[in-house]
Amino acid sequence: MHSQLSDKKIVCKDFIEALEKCHSNNWARLLGFCNLQKDELNLCLREERLKRTTANRELSQERKHKAEEARKKFYSDE
């Protein structure tokens, strides 16, 4: 199951449209002819998720470092 695809800046839009077009033909969907489009969409979405989680991890580490520095400064002034 994919995450919500109604994001304003969809990077994988072409892959989504290709999969939806393939899924419009029920026989193609049922016989597995859409598997390539689905795999490509999965790879694109995974790549975007990994970019997002990497950026979030870096931001979290920066915040943690700033908080630690603030704690050290606060307790060293006493």
Residue 3: pLDDT band (50, 70, 90) is low
What does the pLDDT read at residue 10? 80
Count of other CB atoms within 10 angstroms of residue 23: 14
Alpha helices in 1-78 (DSSP H): 13-23, 26-30, 35-76
Assess whether pLDDT exceeds 70 at residue 26.
yes
What does the pLDDT read at residue 27? 93
What does the pLDDT read at residue 15? 93
CA distance 45 to 55: 15
Assess whether pLDDT exceeds 60 at residue 1.
no
Domain ranges of the chain: 13-76
- In this predicted model, what pLDDT tens digit does every residue of 40-64 receive, in sequence order? 999 999 999 999 999 999 999 999 9
